[in-house]
Structures are given as C-alpha cells and as structure tokens.
Amino acid sequence: MVAVATGRPLPREDVLAAVEQALWRYAPVRSRDLQLAWSLDAAGVLTLSGFAPSHTIKDTLLEIAASVPGVSRVEDRVMADPDLEVSIAQALSVDPKTADLPPGSVQVFAQTGNVVLVGDVPEDRRGEVVRVAGQIDGVRQVVNRLGTG
C-alpha cells in the first residue's frame, strides 16, 4: 500500500501493520526472540518496547520504526542486553547486602531480559545477589549459577 500525502493522518491500523512489516523485514527480528511490542497513539507517537541483544540492533529497530509513514515520533522502551547487565552490576555494587562482594565475583549475562548470574559467592549471600538482580526493571527471569570456587 502506498500512502498518498493528503494532509490526513493514515488510519492507525495501517500504520501498525506497516510497522510490523518494516520490523519483520529486519533479519534479527526474524531470527531471534526479541519480544517486541508496539502501540500507536492518536498523535502518531509509536511506543516500541521489548528487548534487543545489542545497542546496534536496538538503534536499528528505532530507526526502522521512525521511518514508517504515519509515525511522528518513536518512544524508546527497548532494553538492550548490555544496558541490563550494567544496571544489575551497578545495583549489586550499591546494595548494602551485596556491595562488599569482591569486584568480579559476579558475572551477569542477559539475553532478552533473561539473566544468568555466574560467579564465586558465599552460599549465604547468593539469595541477596539474586534478589537484587531480580528487582531491576526489564529482568524477566534470573537463573542462579552462583557457586564457590
């Protein structure tokens, strides 16, 4: 469907369908479980949410969505896995019950909101590490692979 510039906004359903088609043409959307969602308000503001494995993929998703006719602006609610990993590491470094763990004792790996915690942590502290990680916005699931060396 080709949109003709008439000064009238495109029907919401047409814009949403065009967003879906545009995103689907991007290979990482077809080949990965990105868990994307989008909505469009009356002013043409598209809210794009979900997960992306990298900043490059996230930025491309936002660019694709912004290029769709009928989208006036894109509100970014996409979480890139590296940002989620950093947020968890920062939270662990300031939480009173985990801040004293030695640097590097917990490694955080995120994939589309699913987090795996790996490292050498005393048994009585592992639950606190999992608790802190699970409280971060964007975390869907925490897998505890913490142990002691």
What is the spatial distance between Cα 11 and Cα 32, in angstroms, rounded to a whole number? 30
pLDDT in tens, 41-61: 999 999 999 999 999 999 999
3.30.300.130, 3.40.640.10, 3.40.50.10540, 1.10.420.10: which CATH number matches 82-147?
3.30.300.130
Cβ neighbours for 60, distance < 8 A, ≥ 6 positions apart:
26, 28
Nearest to 64 by CA among 14, 25, 30, 36: 25
What is the spatial distance between Cα 28 and Cα 78, in angstroms, rounded to a whole number? 14
Q: Where are the domains of the chain?
A: 12-80, 82-147
pLDDT value of position 3: 44
Nearest to 57 by CA among 89, 83, 86, 18: 83
Q: Specify the fold of 12-80.
A: Histidine-containing Protein; Chain: A; (3.30.1340)
pLDDT value of position 7: 55
CB 49 within 8 A of CB 58: no
Region 6-26: what's the mean pLDDT? Answer: 87
CA of residue 20 relative to chain centroid, distance? 18
Which phi and psi angles does 104 have, rounded to 5°? 80, 0
Mean pLDDT of the chain: 91
Confidence class for position 70, pLDDT limits 50, 70, 90? very high
- For residue 116 the two structure tokens come to 């795996």
